[in-house]
Amino acid sequence: MLNLFQHLRTQTLPILRRQCSWTLKQVQGDDVASEWVIGVIGGSGLYDIDGLEDAEWVPVASPWGEPSDQLRIGRIAGTKFVFLPRHGRGHRIGPSGINARANIDILKRAGCTDVISLSAIGSLREELPPGKFVVVDQFVDRTVGRERSFFGNGMVAHVSVAEPVCPRMSAMLADAARKAGGDVHEGGTYLVMEGPQFSTRAESLLYRQWGCDVIGMTAMPEARLAREAELPYAIMGMVTDYDCWRDGEAHVEVDTVIAQLMANGDIAKRLVVELARSLPPGREASPIDTALDVALMTAPDKRDPQLMARLDAITARALGKR
């Protein structure tokens, strides 16, 4: 073990430091340093967004497989927005079938600088009733069997997800939701379950004991992968139900979720427009923009060429192959 750390300290880390010595202009690119490009991942009930000018559906291929859908690209208030329906138009993909790696990869390829997620969630707290908008800031990941990383044998990387969302974008998202008429709560822990079934009552009560505030099926591994792709990520959860923990409350059913989504939908769509209007004219760098600088571990001569080819968009900045 000591020899391994000596190797990392004397050989691998100096190489990585040389590779990751960038100026701010190089980090963001000539055309990204002052321009926002916002990726929007729409959850259940959100299969398009209003207000996009010159919008078109654009197919984008990914080496990670088939994404959920084409990208809807246009501008709102002069800012480029790139929309992706997480479940595909018509809601044809279940939570376990979402190819989150391909989805994040094509948003990266489309030039997104930041990503926001608009998602339906259940509430585990009395004070977060249906209709509430929750800006989530933490996750407990209980998913199983999903591909959780772009990296692996042949190119190892360990990014930090201690703080899994972007505080800057989260704050702007909260402000935009309020301007759109939403009742907003900032902060909360999202329990990500595998699904597709809803919780048992025992599970719902257990998650409350763990300190979780809301529950859903799709935010992981999406948030993890956004961090690996150096994309600041924020999530606005739209509460549709009380799950099944609450005495005297009907247990969650699909019709309940859909009815609340319809009530929340107009606010969610206005939220995107308000966000576009409130963005600062120039995008300042985020620490998340360079998350891979201290994460890449594998020495250059030990990297798997096939995996590196798939990582071309994800590692372009970090490895200087713009």
The DSSP symbol for 97 reads G
18-74 pLDDT, tens digit each: 333 322 333 334 334 479 999 999 876 666 677 889 999 999 999 999 999 999 999
Look up residue 11 and give its DSSP letter: I
Q: Is 119 annotated as a binding residue?
A: yes
Q: For the chain, which residues make up each domain, given as ranges? A: 31-306
289 is catalytic: no
- Catalytic hit among 69, 141, 241, 289: 241
CA gap 167, 225 in Å, rounded = 17
pTM over 0.95: no
Q: Are strands 53-58 and 71-76 parallel, antiparallel or unpaired?
A: antiparallel
86 labelled binding-site residue: yes
Q: pLDDT by residue for the chain (322 residues), tens digit each?
A: 434 334 443 443 333 333 333 223 333 343 344 799 999 998 766 666 778 899 999 999 999 999 999 999 999 999 999 999 999 998 999 999 999 999 999 999 999 999 999 999 999 999 999 999 999 999 999 999 999 999 999 999 999 999 999 999 999 999 999 999 999 999 999 999 999 999 999 999 999 999 999 999 999 999 999 999 999 999 999 999 999 999 877 776 777 777 777 777 788 889 999 999 999 999 999 999 999 999 999 999 999 999 999 999 999 999 985 4
Q: Does residue 243 have a known ligand-binding role?
A: yes
Determine whether the annotation assigns residue 247 to a binding site.
no
Q: Which helix (H) or strand (E) holds 41?
A: strand 37-42
Task: Give φ, ψ of 96 to 5 degrees.
Answer: -75, -15
* CATH T-level assignment (fold) for domain 31-306: Rossmann fold (3.40.50)
What are the DSSP calls for 212-261, one per residue?
--EEESSSTTHHHHHHHTT--EEEEEEEEE-TTTSTTSPPP-HHHHHHHH
HSE of 178, CA atoms in CB hemisphere, 13 A = 11
87 marked ligand binding residue = yes
Residues 188, 192, 196, 201: is their CA dihedral positive or negative?
negative
Q: How far apart are CA 241 and CA 251, in angstroms?
A: 8
The answer to whether residue 293 is catalytic is no
Choosing from 105, 243, 289, 293, the catalytic residue is 243
The annotation status of 286 as a binding-site residue, yes or no, is no
The alpha carbon torsion through 266, 269, 272, 275 (nearest 10 deg) reads: -10
Residue 210 class from Cβ within 10 Å (0-12 exposed, 13-18 middle, 19+ buried)?
Answer: exposed
34 is in an annotated binding site: no
Can you tell me whether residue 9 is helix, strand or coil? helix
With pLDDT > 90 as the criterion, what percentage of the chain qualifies?
A: 77
- The reply to whether 204 sits in an annotated binding site is no
